[in-house]
């Protein structure tokens, strides 16, 4: 019985962390406008690390994609508990250089939600064809 209680506490704690992380970084707000259930056919790269806002760090759990019209954001299957995939039109995305740590040098901001942004590495940006 004790193992069941500990397992339940672990699962609730694990889910709570992702629930609050997705709300605090702005993913939940973006999902209201850009949620998608369509399969993304553009260029994708997985295992991406990024820093959302000032304090939410996603270490290797993101899937980013880009085609001629959209930026695609998702999380690896195991971590998708409280988030949906996002498909953001490129006209709503701005890209700039960032001076945040040595790794995350590319800042991607969402024009329709000025307080929501994330940073990725230059090598990830290059893989997707994102120019700074």
pLDDT, one tens digit per residue, over 10-35 is 766 665 655 555 555 677 888 899 99
Give the 3-state secondary structure of residue 128. Answer: helix
- From 122, 10, 16, 104, select the one nearest 57 (Cα to Cα): 104
pLDDT, one tens digit per residue, over 34-46 is 999 888 999 999 9
The string of DSSP letters for 19-60 reads HHHHHHTTHHHHHHHHEE-SPP-SEEEEEEEEEETTTEEEEE
DSSP 125: H
Q: Which fold has domain 2-128?
A: PH-domain like (2.30.29)
DSSP 78: G
pTM of the model: 0.79
pLDDT, one tens digit per residue, over 43-79 is 999 989 887 777 677 778 889 999 999 999 998 766 6
Q: What is the pLDDT of residue 101?
A: 62
DSSP 98: -
Q: In the chain, pLDDT over 70 holds for what percent of residues?
A: 81
Domain boundaries, the chain: 2-128
| Helices and strands, number each (H, E), in the chain | 3, 8
């Amino acid at each position: 019985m004790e193992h069941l209680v500990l397992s339940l506490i672990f699962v609730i704690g694990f889910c709570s962390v992702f629930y609050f992380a997705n709300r605090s970084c702005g993913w939940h707000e973006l999902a209201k406008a850009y949620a998608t259930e369509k399969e993304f056919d553009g260029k994708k790269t997985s295992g991406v690390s990024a820093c959302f806002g000032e304090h939410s760090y996603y270490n290797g759990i993101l899937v980013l994609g880009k085609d001629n019209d959209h930026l695609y954001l998702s999380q690896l299957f195991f971590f998708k508990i409280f988030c949906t995939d996002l498909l953001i039109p490129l006209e709503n995305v701005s890209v700039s250089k960032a001076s945040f740590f040595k790794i995350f040098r590319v800042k991607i901001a969402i024009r329709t939600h000025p307080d929501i942004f994330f940073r990725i590495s230059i090598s990830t940006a290059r893989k997707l064809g994102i120019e700074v």
